[in-house]
Every structure is written in C-alpha cells, then in structure tokens.
Structure 1
C-alpha cells in the first residue's frame, strides 16, 4: 500500500554490511597481532601465523595494514596511545591537588595499567632489545608523551612554590623513576621469583611493593634522607 513501505536504503553515513564485516575482520587481525607480537617480538612473529589464527588469507593483512612492519608500528602506537589516553583521563586536578599526592596518583595509575595490560610490558621489552628500531618509524608516538610531562611539570612547580617539594626536580627524570618502579618488578617477575623463591606477582607482595614505593617517592619529593654521608 502507498505510504506503508519501509525504505531499505541505508544512509550515506551508515556503514554497509560489507563495510561492517571488513571492520570486524581488520579488528580481529589486529587483536591477534597484538598477542603475537607481544609473545614473540617483531622478529619472531610471523604474518602467516597471524593470518592462520585470524582465519584470513595472508593477502588480507597486506590489504588492511600494508605489511608486517606497518602492522607492528600500528600495534605499538595503539598500546602506547591507550596508556597515554588513560593517563590523561586520570581524575586529577593538577592545579588544586596536593602535589606529592598527585604525583603518587600518577604512579598508582601507571602501575595499575601495567598490571592490566601485560602485553604492553612485553612489547616494550622486545622493542628495547631491538633498540627501538621499528618504534623510531612511528610519526606519532613521540608526541604522545608531552601531556604527561606537562602534568608533572605543573605539580612540581606548584610544590616547589609552596615549599612542599624539594627544588630542582626534573619532570622527565621523575617520570622515568615512577615508570621504573611500576615496571621492573612486573617485567622481570618470573626470573626474580625463581631466583629468590618468592612469588613477585602475588597480590600481597605487589601491595607491599606499592606501599614501599609510596614511602620512597614521598621521601625523595620532600628532600628527606634516611642516611646522610659526610
């Protein structure tokens, strides 16, 4: 009947079924690639394995990503962007929060993010072994880091002005220290656990490490010294 037919035409902005399937295929390939590169690194990962696990023809990987190296760079950009985006989303007013508390909140977030995303630890470890050879080819990763340092710079400046933080703290040095304290005990947990017969990944050990880190960082920020050598 006139006026009762439902239009089956899709909007120009609405993806077609074919586009939706293509997007899902690309996402499936990408998620498997993250796990493959995290497990084996760039050199050890095989495009053939990724294709097999994604249940696609190997040509699809080249179609969607351009090749193994381009896929790997996109994986690195994705995991690091996820870290940076989450860091910036931390509920933290750098203009009002106590500076030392704010810095420790950033540490707690970083430690928690590493715990929730072990693939990031693996990818960073592999890329460091390869001296960031492929990471250097990314055009966006370097720019991702600046906002985090801006947050630390604001907290440090406020703390120094108020006299609650020691003078001369460098934001990048501090950030590297915080990441080191959040990273090493996880990235090396299996070897250290074996050497010292202690489960470094046990919740109780992790909790104790966090408490100790807070003490260390607060003491450093305040300029305190447990032991002074003349």
Structure 2
C-alpha cells in the first residue's frame, strides 16, 4: 500500500488509552494533549517543561551523554559495519539519532541508509532503512506540489535482501547499550493521534503521528513510497 499524509489512520485519546495505555501515559506525561503547540499554555505544561529539561541535559549540557553517544555508542556501531556512520543528533529533538550510509549512486541522486533513533523518553528506539531520491515530486501537508528529497522505499523490519543482518545487529546493540530499550513499531508512524502535536511537528489538522512524541525523524512519506517489512514488528512488547 502507498501511504501519503492524507491516509494516515487517526485515533483519539480514549482509543489510544484503551489500546496502548503505556504509550498514552507517556505522551500525556510529557505533552499537553489537546493544546496546540503555538499556544503559550503549551510551554507552561509541567510535563513539557520536564521534557525540555531532559532534552537540555542530554544535548546541551557539557556534562551530558552526547559525547558518550557520539564517541562511544557510534564507535560501536562502526564496528558492526564497513559503511560510514554519521551522528545526526541535533536541535530540540527528544532523541539521539544516527545513520549508516549503505550505498550512494554515482551521481549522488539516490542514497540508501539505515537510520536509527533512541528516545530520551524511556529509551524507546526505532530503526529503518530508507532509499531516497533527491528529485521527487510529492504533496506535503503544507505544499500541494513540492520537489525535493523523497523516500522511495522504507524498510521497517529485518527483511531478506534488505540488509537483514545489519538491522538485527544494530537492534541487538541498542538493546545491549540502553537499559530496558523498547522498539517502537513503524505502525505508530502511520497512526495519528487527534489533538496532539509537537513544536517540531506543527500540523494543519491538529493531529500527529504517535511516534513524533518520541522521535523527530523528519521522514515524509509520499505517493512513491514503498513500505517493506512488518509494520507491527515487535508490537507484542508495547
């Protein structure tokens, strides 16, 4: 199935609470559900202040874990692959992130890379393999006709002929290095929670993917995106 911003599944807070109470509790603990991110009351929410402090401690403090992520964890990632490894942690994102450059076309138009994220919220993590094209025409929520970097293919679980071994090795490494780390299935990239948004994910319809509360991925699915693998991978532990 092809996914765009137009056909995400939407659920409300009650549905999330009944179906995935742990995820509801975490989002409700850190984000003011029902308040738009541009509303001044958003920044006054005690849970969001707690999250900002957590991000500040992790990313900007000189005594933070950022050097450990960049100098220790990513060095361990380099040992499980012969590919280039890049630290992509930045800004106000509620997560560490990195990428493994698997392949780049001769003209540099197409890139295949494994991207991975570890959230500051309960060490939830995510791994995907994406193939990007620098010249894709697609619709976004704020632009009906846009040309730019688009995702042609996204692999969301260990899959034969799609770097399965590397996916599993990285998964095992994250779980060994981050206490009680939990994989957040791609399913939650495709489900939007109504009346929820983050400062990094402002929307028109006041609904955001559940995963955006844990990670700032910056991935935009478009009409050409082919989703490969099991979107429910490791759902049983959520």
Range into which the TM-score falls when normalised by the shorter chain:
under 0.3
The structure carrying a bigger strand percent of its residues is 2
The structure carrying a bigger helix percent of its residues is 1
Larger radius of gyration: 1
Higher relative contact order (CA 8 A, sep 6+): 2
Task: Tell me the TM-score normalised to structure 2 length.
Answer: 0.23
